[in-house]
Amino acid sequence: MSGLDLHQQDVRDSLSFPWPEPPQPGHTQEVAPGVLWLRMPLPFGLDHINLYLLRHEHGWVVVDTGLNTPQSKQVWESVFAEVFSGAPVLAVIVTHFHYDHSGLFGWLVDRFQCPAYMSFGEYQSMFVVPPKGDEPNWAFSQFYQRCGLSEQEVTEFQPMLSQMSYDIDAPTSFRRLRENDLLKIGNRCWRIVIGSGHSPEHACLYNEDDQLLIAGDQILPRITSSVCVNVSEPEANPLGDWLASLRRFRNLPDSVLVLPAHERPFHGLHHRLGQLQQHHDSHLEALVAALDRPKTVAELRPVLFPRIRGSFDLLMAIGETLAHINFLRDEGVLTRTLDGEAWRFGLSSSGGQTFVATEDIHV
Ligand SMILES: [Zn+2]
C-alpha cells in the first residue's frame, strides 16, 4: 500500500493524504525528488515521528533527529548504510527543542562534524531542563498549587517526570536560523518560516518551486499541537503566539504539500489552519461560558479536557487550560485573584460577557 496513487487519494475532512500508508518504522518514502520521509519509531502512545532527509550532491541534510534512545541510533545506523550508502550528513536542522525532535542532535553533528542549524529560542530552550530528583522543587510545587492541584497530585508528577525525562544531546555550537533565511540544499532553496506557541521559535522550511513545507509540529493534520504554559514561564501567553502564527501561515499558498512531524503528509493547509483556529476559539468560548463564578485552572480543566489518563495527561491538560486562560487575561476578558494557595479566574466586568472569537473562520 505504499507509494503514490493519485487516483485513490485518501480524503478526510477536506484534507488529502497522497500516501495512504506511512513507510514502515525505520524505512523511507520519497515524497518529492530528493526528499525522503523517514518514519522513526517512538516508545509512546504517539508511536512515531517523521524525519525528512534532503539529498545534496555531496551527501545529505537531515531535518529533525528522533529521541535519544538506542532504538533511534539503530535506525540511523541502517539509514547511513542503506539509504545514504556511506555518503555523509552535511548538516542537521532541528525544527524545535522537544526531545523527540532534538534528542540526537549533538550525536549526529559530532559523528559527521557538520553544522547544527536551529533558531536561537529553540537552541536556548534545549538547556532548560525540568527539575530533577524525587522531590518537586518549590517553584514547581507552587506553580501547580496556584493552578488548584492538591499537594498529593503535585507529588505524583515527579516520578512520572523522572521516568519521562529523555536526555537531549545538544550540539556545542550552532548556526542561527531566522525568519526568511534561505538555505540552498542541492538544487532547492528552502525559506525559513518561524512559528511560535507550541515552542518558542519553531522553524519550518518552505520550498516555493515545488510547493513543499516541512512543518515539524507547527501544523499537524489530525492531532492538535500542544500549546501549554508551564512552570518555566507561568505568565506566558503562548496561545496568543500560536493564533498569530496560524494567521501568518495563511500567507503560504494553499497548494503546498505539508510534510508534518507526525501522521502523514497532506494537502489542505488553509483548511487545516482554519480547523486549528476554530478548535482554540471553541475552547476559549467554552471557558468563558463555564465561569459562572471564579474558578481555578484545575476546576476549569474538565471543560476542555474531560478525559484524563494518568499524571502526564493531567500535566499537559493543566498547561493547556492555563494557556487559554492567560490568553483571555491578556485580552482583558478574565481577572486573576489569589485565594489561599490557588489562583481563581473570573470574568472581568468590562470584557467577559461580550467575548467573541478573535477572527472569522475561513475554511
Ligand atoms: Zn513538539
- Mean pLDDT of the 200-207 span: 98
Q: How many A from CA of 226 to the centre of ligand 1?
A: 8
Give the range with max mean pLDDT: 101-105, 137-141, 312-316. 101-105
Tell me which H or E stretch contains 203. strand 202-207
Q: How many A from CA of 41 to the centre of ligand 1?
A: 15
Q: How many A from CA of 225 to the centre of ligand 1?
A: 7
Q: How many A from CA of 123 to the centre of ligand 1?
A: 14
- Mean pLDDT of the 154-161 span: 82
Q: How many A from CA of 55 to the centre of ligand 1?
A: 25
11 confidence band (pLDDT: 50, 70, 90): low
* 235 pLDDT higher than 90: yes
Extract the runs of DSSP E, i.e. beta strands, from 240-359: 257-260, 334-339, 342-347
Quick one: 188 exposed, middle or buried, by C-beta within 10 A (0-12, 13-18, 19+)?
Answer: buried
Q: Give 242-298 pLDDT, tens digit per residue.
A: 999 999 999 999 999 999 999 999 999 999 999 999 999 999 999 999 999 999 999
Output the pLDDT for position 10: 59
Q: How many A from CA of 96 to the centre of ligand 1?
A: 7
Q: How many A from CA of 1 to the centre of ligand 1?
A: 28
Q: How many A from CA of 119 to the centre of ligand 1?
A: 14
What does the domain layout of the chain look like in residue ranges? 1-129+168-267
Q: How many A from CA of 28 to the centre of ligand 1?
A: 21
Output the pLDDT for position 161: 78
Q: How many A from CA of 65 to the centre of ligand 1?
A: 12
Q: How many A from CA of 36 to the centre of ligand 1?
A: 20
Q: How many A from CA of 206 to the centre of ligand 1?
A: 18
Can you give the pTM of this predicted structure? 0.91
Q: How many A from CA of 93 to the centre of ligand 1?
A: 15
State the CB neighbour count (10 A cutoff) for residue 192.
18
* 357 pLDDT higher than 80: no
Query: At a CB cut-off of 8 Å and minimum separation 6, what does 53 contact?
Result: 28, 35, 36, 38, 60, 61, 62, 63, 79, 83
350 confidence band (pLDDT: 50, 70, 90): low
The cell numbers describing 282, all together, are 471553541
Q: How many A from CA of 199 to the centre of ligand 1?
A: 7
* 337 pLDDT higher than 60: yes
pLDDT over 90, % of the chain: 80
CA angle 289, 236, 233 (to 5 degrees): 130
Q: How high does pLDDT run on average in the chain?
A: 91
Output the pLDDT for position 168: 84
> How many angstroms separate the CA atoms of 360 and 42, rounded?
37
**Measured between alpha carbons, how far is residue 124 from residues 127, 233, 265 in Å?**
6, 14, 29
- Mean pLDDT of the 184-188 span: 95
Q: Comparing 103 with 7, which gets the higher pLDDT?
A: 103
Q: How many A from CA of 91 to the centre of ligand 1?
A: 21
- Mean pLDDT of the 43-72 span: 95
Q: How many A from CA of 218 to the centre of ligand 1?
A: 8
pLDDT over 70, % of the chain: 91
Q: Comparing 355 with 224, which gets the higher pLDDT?
A: 224
Q: How many A from CA of 294 to the centre of ligand 1?
A: 32
Query: At a CB cut-off of 8 Å and minimum separation 6, what does 249 contact?
Result: 193, 195, 218, 219, 269, 273
Q: Give 106-148 pLDDT, tens digit per residue.
A: 999 999 999 999 999 999 999 887 666 667 789 999 999 999 9
Q: How many A from CA of 254 to the centre of ligand 1?
A: 23
The CATH classification number of 1-129+168-267 equals 3.60.15.10
2 confidence band (pLDDT: 50, 70, 90): very low
Q: How many A from CA of 337 to the centre of ligand 1?
A: 32
